[in-house]
A and B are shown apart, each in its own frame.
Chain A
Amino acid sequence: MNIDCLDSLRGCGGAGFPTKFKWNAVRDASDAFGKVIICNADEGEPGTFKDGWLFDNHCAAVINGMRRSAEHVSANRGFIYLRPEYSAQRELIVEQIKTMVADGLLAPQSGRIFQASGFLGRPAQLDNEGLNLVELSALDWFVEHGSHDLVGETQQSGGLSHSEDPQYPLPQNEEINEGFCLDICIGGGAYICGEETALIESMEGKRPQPRHKPPFPTTSGLWQLPTLVNNVETFWWAERLLSGEWQEDAERLFSISGAVNKPGVYQAPVGTTARALIDDYAGGVTDNTMISCWIPGGAATGVLPASLLDSKMDNDCLREHGTALGTAAIVVFNDQSALEVSIKIMQFFAQESCSQCTPCRIGCAEFADYLADDQHHWPHNGSVDEWLQTMELGSICGLGFTAPLIVRQLRKHFDFEVQHAS
């Protein structure tokens, strides 16, 4: 299969890895025991809700994208790893899968629902209440300030009946004889489950702690099989590009929320300015108020001042300002200071750290306290810079690497002074 038309496509889940490379890497991996495709729909990055929107509106296209990747790498098993809160989307996906099974496009046993494990140890029994295991306090704040509740109307329809209880754990050695078997795996309910190796661990029924890399999932993923993990949006774009429906360079879906008149998901070319996105797409700032600060690509990309609204939303420009495009999720604030927003983000990370490695487990918590402290008192012998550097260099996964960015952005763009212990 020729996938040259994917040249312009980079992963849309945050890290931005070239999709074509990944597909070819999995294709070239040896496959004595089969290969696996995983669609990462554990949309947990605060401010981001495009994946839910995609299932609401383009479910078939996403699944077709997965089918194409399966064909390209010759995989016979696939999973959609779905954020547990997306119960409405779950129903839509099951419907879609059933239709496709009927049309002979997917293996007959497709459409089952499995449960991944979370942080409360090994799931004892599964009940529907127990599915969402994460404590939401810091995340709640983001919800309040307008992001997750923007995911499709359907989600609010509530009281959904699930056709079946999820199974746990995933059966490992299944024989798939005909075609591509696509099932749903309900996520472990934690932010870090969106990290591809933590996601795989949780599918294997373990604590969702990120793995050490290398080896990468492309060679050793789920059950050590070569595994392709892509974001929902990545599969969607791949489908559009490969089917010829979209013939130019891939664009991005921007999730825009917070203090804007028309929050929502908008498709725009990479490189559009934030101001254009806010004004032309999202209907301008609420009540014409002043923007106090904004987030360019989900919580992990930190806060930027209003003065940078005219910079282009692409990785090169954003890197100059110390950040990245991330999940292309813009959150606009008008009544919260950059410090207040940063404290919340840091608290969120401190809570969501998987606690595997020391720099992130202790660092995030200490920095959250430090930012929240009125005096910004720093109680340690090592300097703030040494701690930030240790988190960036000494952590295992992206959460620990990027958490220091929150503090760095505050210091770079806002009037934030470090107080040392006296």
Chain B
Amino acid sequence: MPANTLMINGKDVEVLQGESLLDACTKIGINIPTACHDSRLEAYGGCRTCLVDLDGAPRPVPACKTFTSPGMKVETSGVVLDTVRTTVDEMLACSSRAAIETWTDANRFIGYDPAQCIMCDRCVRYCDEIMQCNALEHVGQGSEAFIQPTQGESFLDTSCELCGGCVGTCPTEALYSKQSLEVFDKQSGEAPTTTRTVCNYCGVGCIIDIETQGNTVIDIDAQTGVGPNDGHLCSKGRFAWQFINHPDRLTSPLIRNYDNGELEETSWENALAVAAQKLSAVKQQYGADGIAFLASSRCTNEDVYALQKLARSVIGTNSVHSCAAT
């Protein structure tokens, strides 16, 4: 790709064709604040937080939506420009001025608070460009504009796939996860911690950030630029985490009471001893190949390695397999 040379704050910068002024600035370490910009989406240029001065342009231009061409001269600061940028920030902070009533929705994942919405359209564009679901729209005008599910229907009735990507890209708290709100304990004052790990559903292997407060999972999110998913998640990865803290979870070893046929709680010592004794008995009677091992392809590599090692080196059988081999 041919390179362009332009000048930013008096310094020459080499950029590639098609890169924006924002990319160019980032390249040389100049930090331009943004709000409506998401590198995964087409540039929008609406919030005006990223204005810079471009030589020859009648007004400041948005760095995110101005594409570089050779010989451009750009200043990222100046008396007037700084005032304009400060004022834009002040204006954005006024977005809630109209405190309009909008909608509530029956779905259990996504909620909307218009008072926080800065009409940056990231959610709408995400849904159109990335998901290609067109399940959100920007309606109304002026300070009373807001975001709603297409045609004002419920998320559950539109083409929405409940991926939560709109929540993920929202730069404010306007679109939020209802599940998180429910479990997040504001009062406790305990700050959430983040743990980076891998989604446990399908083979895409999305990198996720689990947010926890104490021992409770309060949210799952993903970071742009990280992992094979580049910040995207699907409905399962983002929202299907209630099972982690679910009351149905097994919390104690169980052993069958052959008198009544029920499974009953027992100690680890006993459970392990009984299991070992039963396996040994079968091995004695039928040989090692009378025992077979089935591992889930959802366990970690280390779990599976350990299990096949148990089968092969402790029991002595190669009968190890899993349910779906693909």
Contacts and interface: CB of A to CB of B under 8 A. Distances in A.
Physical interaction between A and B: yes
Interface residues of A, number: 37
B45 A382 contact: no
B138 A393 contact: no
B134 to A, nearest CB: 8
B60 A355 contact: no
B90 A381 contact: yes
A396 B84 contact: no
B84 A389 contact: yes
Contacts of A362: 91-92, 94-95, 97, 143
Interface stretch (B46-54, B183-191, B243-251, B266-274): B46-54
Interface residues of B, number: 39
Contacts of B95: 362
A416 interface: no
Contacts of B46: 356-358, 396
Contacts of B139: 119-121
Interface string B137-148: 111111111001
A285 B325 CA distance: 90
Interface string A349-388: 0111111111101111110000000000000111000110
Interface in A201-254: 207, 212
A350 B87 contact: no
Given A212-B65, A355-B119, A382-B87, A119 B141 contact: yes
Contacts of A396: 45-46
Interface string A316-349: 0000000000000000000000000000000000
Contact of A207 (B88, B90, B94, B138): B138
B39 interface: no
Contacts of A121: 137-139, 148, 150-151
Interface string A377-409: 000111000110110111110000000000000
Contact of B48 (A354, A357, A364): A357
Given A353-B142, A366-B97, A386-B83, A212 B45 contact: yes
A32 interface: no
A421 interface: no
B120 to A, nearest CB: 9
Interface string B33-63: 0000000000001111101000000011010
Nearest to B120: A358
A124 interface: yes
B319 interface: no
B88 A190 contact: no
B324 interface: no
Nearest to A353: B142
B59 to A, nearest CB: 5
A122 interface: yes
B84 A350 contact: no
A394 B150 contact: no
Given A358-B92, A359-B88, A122 B137 contact: yes
Nearest to B142: A353
B97 A358 contact: no
B252 to A, nearest CB: 54
Nearest to A124: B151
A394 B85 CA distance: 9
A361 B86 contact: no
Contacts of B140: 119-120, 355
Contact of B91 (A120, A355, A356, A359): A359
A207 B136 CA distance: 13
Contacts of B60: 393-394
B98 interface: yes
B88 A361 contact: no
Nearest to B49: A358
A377 B142 CA distance: 21
Interface string B145-182: 10010110000000000000000000000000000000
Given A122-B150, A363-B91, A393 B80 contact: yes
A358 B143 contact: no
A351 B138 contact: no
Interface in B97-134: 97-98, 118-119, 121, 134
30 contacts: A120-B139, A121-B137, A121-B148, A122-B150, A207-B138, A212-B45, A351-B142, A351-B144, A353-B143, A355-B140, A355-B141, A355-B145, A356-B121, A357-B45, A357-B46, A357-B47, A358-B48, A358-B119, A359-B48, A359-B87, A362-B94, A365-B97, A386-B86, A389-B87, A390-B83, A390-B88, A393-B80, A393-B84, A394-B59, A396-B45
Given A119-B139, A358-B49, A382-B86, 11 more contacts: A121-B137, A124-B151, A351-B141, A351-B144, A355-B138, A356-B46, A358-B91, A386-B87, A393-B59, A393-B80, A394-B60
Interface of B: 45-49, 51, 59-60, 62, 65, 80, 83-84, 86-88, 90-92, 94-95, 97-98, 118-119, 121, 134, 137-145, 148, 150-151
